[in-house]
Structure 1
């Protein structure tokens, strides 16, 4: 700079130049210190968690992994050593660049608040002889859904009404109005609504063929209020009688079995999609049916076997399984199903039903034979076990059956009898979405009970009362001093079903 230029330089310009020079030196010093610090450096110099994918979320059973994304490459061993989850959630760690993925071994137990903490982890340092900078301490929180189930009330003002019981909050809520008698129900995957069959008491004599399909809000999730007066009609019964229904796992499709009031030969399955329009499902079978977990496929009995159909009225059948008469349940991803062979073509197997595991590769594995009935089987969430409600024939003349619970290990195909359910009729079973509890009902019939009662067993007997029972799972039979015990709940009701 020439003397002439210096002579005319304004004082504020000189001050600005000095300030810029000082800032540049300071920034360079900080960067140098950050790259050479090997001890417990100041927090502003350390790496941090940039994103936690489960932060403040409410999880469901199929949420299986969270991600921790860091601002800098990390020393992975120090991260894994110092990562804690309270209460503990066993799982496995994997990495992709700066992102850690933690996959839980089993579904997150419901009704629990969790905390994730990471302290003392270090960033990855280029010079292996020096330790990286200690990261900023991290703490994140999430929780799982409340543990809750729904059932049909049995006594007094609750008779025939749909009831929600939130075990986590210890709260009971009556969901439907007194004029509707609920006969069956399915819960939407977001658990905000329940789809149910009901008959209106005000229509005169109670008749199951007068069922209509309704929805009602639960008050859970984003719908914080359950209003019995807010019941909405989903499918009427003006021209067709409704016999049974199923709801797809994604909550977007309803399939209903219907029969024309004027023409009984017009009998089959109808489908209702998101737009609310209902239409016949082509030349569909007329037996029991279930929508597969992919929400695109239907499995239905035909009287001669099980048909696998697409939920598209214009499409052709996908497969046919002639030896099976009923599908009980699917595993979580739909790759396998539990099915029943009634052995009707073999007179030597009279009264014997066979349980099979059938997968999507066409492999069919017999798991057990039952001289009696296979009532229900449900996969645990990770698909390694089947909890089966069976009934043993103990009296042929009057066809008396004794229900019992069996657990089938699908890795070994071994079945273990857990317990006998005494004096149970029309018993129903439901496995919790996290796999940690079974619900049963215990129905009591009385031939002298009110003949006008709308609540009846499958055989038509009037139901005088029914209690709900709980069994903690998973079940271990290895310890003789710690055998599973049924716990009677202080609730009178029918057909309990866990909310997803």
Structure 2
């Protein structure tokens, strides 16, 4: 009998095994190819802005695909025309902030030359270029002045038909402030229970964000820090749940609109320090408030945490110079019986601890508001003379604060009184709220409503951009 042995003929590698091996091979090849071609792909730019159109105060941003060797980026960044500024970073995004507002109507080209390196050694392999045109600033205001509710409107002074309502509050807007880059407006809205809350309007998208939660308080008068990262505002607590206590004095709080949810805290932790009428220096280092408890202007330095007190009876914080080293503020002389009160201006040097006169109690005039131009070389003020130059209302003047004898009227119309005013971002125009007090025959104009005007510094090209409106602000 012959013995038969069976042989196992199954293959050593199955079809499934082959599939797995092929997939592994493809992955390995992809990895090898990625490593081999990595330097040829290079670092990519995921987003640049602005493109096409920009505000005069818009920052320039470049977002990279990975963390960069930052000096290699800065040294390859070019602007045409040249544009001075500072570079900061947020993660993988370069932020270039111009030292001065860009010229409205001008076109700028930004170029990043190839060769900028990531921290991993990869490079930007080609030049990147983008262009934008700076649009002219617009004007915001509250309307109507003679009815309720008041809401925010925005208009292009070069096209008055462009006037558009941007808030639609049923209870009305109390006051507001435009963000430094012109993209947002922080406003105080009246609530139905008598309180006020601060909200944030995105002018590009129309989105609304509530910044404060003042259920038993009045939160008003927002003021942006010049970098756009914080908002100072005034808060009064009603203390409704504390019988017989009454309302608190006004204090300054700081809101961070970029936390989620937005957060707030008092400017001063010491409860005995009061304050209102907050004003920032352009570098954000200092903030000035008026403290009614000490009857003085308090200038707080965030760097040193020091508080400088400047006695003043006028009840306002004045105007900090752009570099934060000077403070112009109104003062009133001691009140004596039978003497008329004339408010005058003084200038304090916060570094040298000196105070000088811009005008004096003996001058035949009364000064009111003052604001520095963007480069800190000129002041705009509202003034009323009591001599042969006299007018019945305050008019807008421009002067050199370090040679204040040569004050030049802006719009010299004695039939008007000039009120709130603001410099344009580039300092070549003024925005002013005006009221026609008398007609051409000198009779009181009892039907007058406040008007919003834009003018050059010498009064040329003056035009009314809104009627029956008030609280104007530039929108860069």
Q: Residue 264 of structure 1: which of 228, 246, 255 is its match?
A: 246
Query: Is 1:285 matched up with 2:264?
Result: no
> Is there any run of 5+ residues in structure 1 with no aligned partner, and where?
1-52, 72-78, 93-102, 118-136, 204-209, 395-399, 447-461, 476-482
Q: Distance in 2 between matches of 1:69 and 1:280?
A: 39
Query: Is 1:226 matched up with 2:231?
Result: no
In the other structure, the counterpart of 1:248 is: 225
> Is there any run of 5+ residues in structure 2 with no aligned partner, and where?
1-47, 61-72, 86-96, 112-126, 257-261, 439-445
In the other structure, the counterpart of 2:355 is: 364
Q: Distance in 2 between matches of 1:90 and 1:349?
A: 54
C-alpha contact (below 8 Å) 1:63/1:107 kept by paired residues? no
- CA apart distance, 1:244: 4.6
TM score, norm. by length of structure 2: 0.62
Q: Distance in 1 between matches of 2:273 and 2:99?
A: 40
Query: Is 1:185 matched up with 2:176?
Result: yes
Query: Relative to structure 1, is the Cα distance of residues 144 and 330 closer, same or farther in structure 2, using a 3 angstrom cutoff?
Result: farther
Query: Is 1:276 matched up with 2:263?
Result: yes
Q: State the number of aligned residues.
A: 368
Aligned 1:474-485 pairs, distance under 5 A: 475=458, 484=460
In the other structure, the counterpart of 2:163 is: 172
C-alpha contact (below 8 Å) 1:329/1:379 kept by paired residues? yes
In the other structure, the counterpart of 1:387 is: 380
In the other structure, the counterpart of 2:309 is: 320
Q: Distance in 1 between matches of 2:166 and 2:55?
A: 24
- CA apart distance, 1:432: 0.8
- CA apart distance, 1:214: 2.7
Higher helix share: 1
In the other structure, the counterpart of 1:478 is: none
Q: Residue 466 of structure 1: which of 445, 450, 458 is its match?
A: 450
TM score, norm. by length of structure 1: 0.59
In the other structure, the counterpart of 2:7 is: none
Cα deviation 1:46-103 (Å, max 9, x = unaligned) = xxxxxxx999584644979xx99579xxxxxxx9xxx974xxx8999xxxxxxxxxx9
Q: Distance in 2 between matches of 1:463 and 1:187?
A: 30
Q: Distance in 2 between matches of 1:181 and 1:68?
A: 47
Aligned 1:450-465 pairs, distance under 5 A: 465=449
Q: Distance in 1 between matches of 2:449 and 2:373?
A: 30
Q: Distance in 2 between matches of 1:185 and 1:414?
A: 34
In the other structure, the counterpart of 2:430 is: 438
C-alpha contact (below 8 Å) 2:198/2:220 kept by paired residues? no
Query: Is 1:108 matched up with 2:90?
Result: no
Query: Is 1:497 matched up with 2:473?
Result: yes
Q: Distance in 1 between matches of 2:334 and 2:393?
A: 22
Cα deviation 1:238-271 (Å, max 9, x = unaligned) = 3234465534333313332314344236323142
Root-mean-square deviation over aligned CA pairs: 4.7
Q: Distance in 1 between matches of 2:278 and 2:80?
A: 45
